[in-house]
Amino acid sequence: MVSSPEGYTGGWTRRVGRWLPMMALLAAGIASATPQRIVSINLCADQLLMTLLPRERLISVTHLAADPTQSMMAGQARGVPVNHGRADEVVRLKPDLVVAGRYSQTQTVALLRALGIPVLELDVPSSTEQLIKQMDDLGQRLGVSQTAHIEIERFRRALDELDRSELPNRPLAALYRVNRGTEGRDTLIGELMHRAGMRNVADELGVRRWGTLPMESLLLAQPDIIIVEQSSDRQPAMAHQFLRHPALRRLLAETQTALLDSRDWSCAGPWLTRPLAQLVQTRARWSDALTEPATVQTPP
Amino acid sequence: MNASNQPASVQTPWLWPVLVTTTVALFVASLKVGSAPIPLWDLATGNAGPEAATLSLILAEIRLPRAILAVFVGGTLGLCGAVLQGLLRNPLAEPGLLGASSAGALGAVIALYFGLTATLPLALPLGGIAGAVLGIMLILFLAGRGARPSTLILAGVAVNSLAGALTALALNLAPSPFASLEIVFWMLGSLADRSFEDVTIVLPFVLLGWPILLMLRRPLEALTLGEDVASSLGFDLRHLQLRVVLATGLTVGACVSVSGNIGFVGLMVPHLLRPWVGHHPGRLVAPSALGGAALLLGADLLTRSPVLGQELKLGVVTALLGAPLFLHLLWHLRTRLL
């Protein structure tokens, strides 16, 4: 009887005493599971990580991230040590997590894993839903869920604001990438075209993901809008020669054109609202021109 | 296959009509066939309907330059194949297997990706020509006239792999991020979506080189009697060799610089036509130009076939057609090779 309160208090302290080390262990476990030294070996990962992570935890990004012709975050990458995606460089940085691309770096990833370095491989999202899921997962894994959720919310709101998919009149748009590439509905840019209230020539040609758009097919489709990928890289290559083709120049001169900077959409991220806004503007110009047919269109 | 089976003077009388008709028919077909058939007659008579403007744009700016380029490139490869086979007296000699084409591609790659063409547009064909000339000179140095087929093929392998490796290196070092992806074009060739700009790049060099190649008819004929007899007939062999090197370099180099490396045309065409000219290397020269044009027009039509839903690379088609013939030739030459 006497021992009852003591027994109670004693029981409580004993119970706390029993749990405390476990709780401490758990807390320590969470801390150690949250990587502190993160290295990215992929341009798209570079830009997502620069968006989500505090600077001091990102100890290296690829050299492409600092190249203004490839990366739209070159300014932010200034001062971050760069790597060239090679295993030997990465090992020396002693990372507790390496973030890589899923398809381009399988050899390096296998080697890093064999050396006991944890690697997170980022998929290439083919829809904004997949992108949101990727940001969410990344936030949890890196312990920055809050930042990730803020970014996701902002992204969702912008997508909703820019949504024109319900507009009745849907212009036919052709996406013309460098080296004659095009993309269909199962890609991010395809989805953006749909959200901007456009039909996609690639869909009508049966291209679901990536394909070639021969100039003949482009001319025959007689698109209302042409979306031209603008590479900020002007170094000489075959890739740019097709844009000088007289037939294409003729078509561009008489068609509404959107020039999308490839840096803005070559990687998936919340920045995709920028090309979407551009598409929405182009669509608006197209419908203005419909109501005022006398207006002479000038290509940008 | 054996020349002694046929009277030496026989040239099939219908060879030229057949070649001309085939080439013209394939030329017209390559204007007509594509992602949409173009009703040429209706377009000419103004009955093509609402799509007339688009169709005539496609015809004038896409299909016409493409067909003309096929004639120039195919004709050049056929012509050079016949001339090289005659000069080296070797049925396996042709610009592709000897490495002249890949050396030309290397020259064009260096000119294009390192900015020379930006300052001087002529740098593209000139780069191709420089590469092709060096390639042929290297071949003649490694395995000159009268070398055994095996020596010639090995020299070709060496030049081809060297030029291929240097092309890959140049594209890797090129400042453009697209460069390394474009190696497929340079290795396998294509005429898709080229324009009259490309035609004007090739035209002067074809006009310069083809007559030289066509005039080699008589010296090549004399060469069949042996080098000594040819010299005694007044044909200077060093001079002949120099003309072949320059003319093949000019034409192959310029063509490769706009079409990429397209193999086997120069092997196939002379081989297919040889029985119809009584196995005379000299008489083979002119028909090989037309034959090459017809073959490349046909191969380019095949690349547009919708079977795969994707355009094929032109060099893939010519290799699929030519490699079996190459194997066949090797099989028949194996006694001489060993």
CB contact under 8 A, B177 and A69: yes
- pLDDT band, very low/low/confident/very high, at B6 (cuts 50, 70, 90): very low
User: Which of B31, B32, B33, B35 to mutate to probe the A interface, most A CBs <10 Å?
Assistant: B35
CB contact under 8 A, B178 and A216: no
Q: Which helix or strand (DSSP H or E) is residue A122 part of?
A: strand A119-122
CB contact under 8 A, B112 and A236: yes
Name B187's Cβ contacts closer than 8 Å, sequence gap at least 6. B102, B105, B164, B167, B260, B261, B315
Enter the tokens of residue B39. Answer: 């009703």
Name B188's Cβ contacts closer than 8 Å, sequence gap at least 6. B260, B261, B262, B313, B314, B315, B316
The CATH number for A38-127, chosen from 3.40.50.300, 3.40.50.1980, 3.40.50.2300, 3.30.460.10, is 3.40.50.1980
pLDDT value at residue A9:
44
Pairing status of strand A181-183 against strand A210-212: antiparallel
User: Which of B69, B181, B188, B195 to mutate to probe the A interface, most A CBs <10 Å?
Assistant: B195
Spans of all domains in chain A: 38-127, 166-291
Distance from the Cα of B301 to chain A's closest Cα (Å) equals 14
Residues (pLDDT < 50) of chain A are: 1-12, 28-29, 31, 295, 300
Enter the tokens of residue A87. Answer: 């295993």
Name the closest residue on chain B to residue A249, using Cα atoms.
Answer: B61
Instruction: For residue B57, count other CB atoms closer than 10 A to its CB.
Output: 17
Stretch B290-302: mean pLDDT, rounded?
A: 96
| Average pLDDT of every residue of chain B | 89
Q: Any idea which architecture B67-304+311-337 has in CATH?
A: Orthogonal Bundle (1.10)
Residue A256: strand pairing partners:
A225
pLDDT tens across A234-254, in order? 788 888 888 889 999 999 998
pLDDT value at residue B288:
96
Q: Which helix or strand (DSSP H or E) is residue B306 part of?
A: none
pLDDT value at residue B5:
44
CB contact under 8 A, B182 and A237: yes
pLDDT value at residue A7:
38
Looking at CATH, the fold of the domain delimited by A166-291 is given as Rossmann fold (3.40.50)
Judged against a pLDDT cut of 90, whether residue B160 lies above it is answered with yes
- Flag whether residue A245 sits within 8 Å of chain B, measured between CB atoms: yes
Cα first-last separation, chain B = 20
pLDDT tens across B269-283, in order? 999 999 899 888 899
Spans of all domains in chain B: 67-304+311-337
- Flag whether residue A195 sits within 8 Å of chain B, measured between CB atoms: no
CB contact under 8 A, B118 and A236: yes
- Flag whether residue A212 sits within 8 Å of chain B, measured between CB atoms: yes
Residue A229: strand pairing partners:
A260
pLDDT tens across B190-223, in order? 998 999 999 999 999 999 999 999 999 999 988 8
Cα first-last separation, chain A = 92
Judged against a pLDDT cut of 60, whether residue B83 lies above it is answered with yes
pLDDT value at residue A32:
53
CB contact under 8 A, B192 and A214: yes
| Residues A253 and A219 sit within 8 Å (Cβ to Cβ) | no
| Sign of CA pseudo-dihedral A280, A286, A290, A293 | positive
How far apart are the C-alpha atoms of A50 and B295, rounded to whole Å?
55
How far apart are the C-alpha atoms of B54 and A222, rounded to whole Å?
8
Measure Cα distances from A239 to A126, B178, B190 in Å. 24, 7, 14
How far apart are the C-alpha atoms of A72 and A264, rounded to whole Å?
7
- pLDDT band, very low/low/confident/very high, at B146 (cuts 50, 70, 90): low
pTM score, whole prediction: 0.82
Name B268's Cβ contacts closer than 8 Å, sequence gap at least 6. B81, B295, B318, B321, B322, B325
| Residues A42 and A100 sit within 8 Å (Cβ to Cβ) | yes
Judged against a pLDDT cut of 50, whether residue B321 lies above it is answered with yes
Residues 17-76 of A with CB under 8 A from B: 69-70
**What are the chain A neighbours of B34 within 8 Å (beta carbons)?**
216
Measure Cα distances from A69 to A232, A261, B121, B322 in Å. 5, 10, 25, 42
Stretch B44-48: mean pLDDT, rounded?
A: 81
How far apart are the C-alpha atoms of A300 and A283, rounded to whole Å?
14
pLDDT value at residue A4:
41
pLDDT value at residue B337:
53
